[in-house]
Amino acid sequence: DTAVSQTPKYLVTQMGNDKSIKCEQNLGHDTMYWYKQDSKKFLKIMFSYNNKELIINETVPNRFSPKSPDKAHLNLHINSLELGDSAVYFCASSQGTTLAKNIQYFGAGTRLSVL
């Protein structure tokens, strides 16, 4: 069983469209994350939820809206897609937020290409 799964794996879309990426974890973790990785492999935190509550919201355009319907799911909706949104988006989860519990488990990533 895949611990952290994201769908879709690839997403190709036109500028201006709205799209969603889904993430699910079956590890029983309390904390989930969204990261963006650019072409230079720079991996940057976007959002983090703990027990369905938003705890980290980095400087991200408000076109990006995370939603956590329950602890096992964290979805990312992106409105009005722009060329600069092209990247690989990773979902991750951890047991919690304290040091002993914040080792993260990552999904395989969603490669978004905006044309």
Partner 1 sequence: LAKTTQPISMDSYEGQEVNITCSHNNIATNDYITWYQQFPSQGPRFIIQGYKTKVTNEVASLFIPADRKSSTLSLPRVSLSDTAVYYCLVGDMGFSARQLTFGSGTQLTVLP
Burial of 8-47, coded b for 16+ CB within 10 Å and e otherwise, reads eeebebeeeeebebbbbbeeebbbbbbbbeeeeeeeeebb
Which span sits near partner 1 by CB under 8 A: 12-20, 61-69, 72-80, 107-115? 107-115
43 binds partner 1 (CB under 8 A): yes
1 binds partner 1 (CB under 8 A): no
What the block records as the tokens of 80 is 């009005």
Rounded CA separation 52/79 (Å): 22
39 binds partner 1 (CB under 8 A): no
107 binds partner 1 (CB under 8 A): yes
Q: Which is nearer to partner 1, 10 or 14 (CB)?
A: 10
Site string for partner 1, 50-69 (x = CB under 8 A): -----xx-x-----------
Residue listed under structure tokens 């999904």: 107
11 binds partner 1 (CB under 8 A): no
**Which residues is 78 bridged to in the sheet?**
19, 64
Give me the residues that bind partner 1 (CB under 8 A), please: 4, 33, 35, 40-45, 48, 55-56, 58, 90, 92, 97-99, 102-109
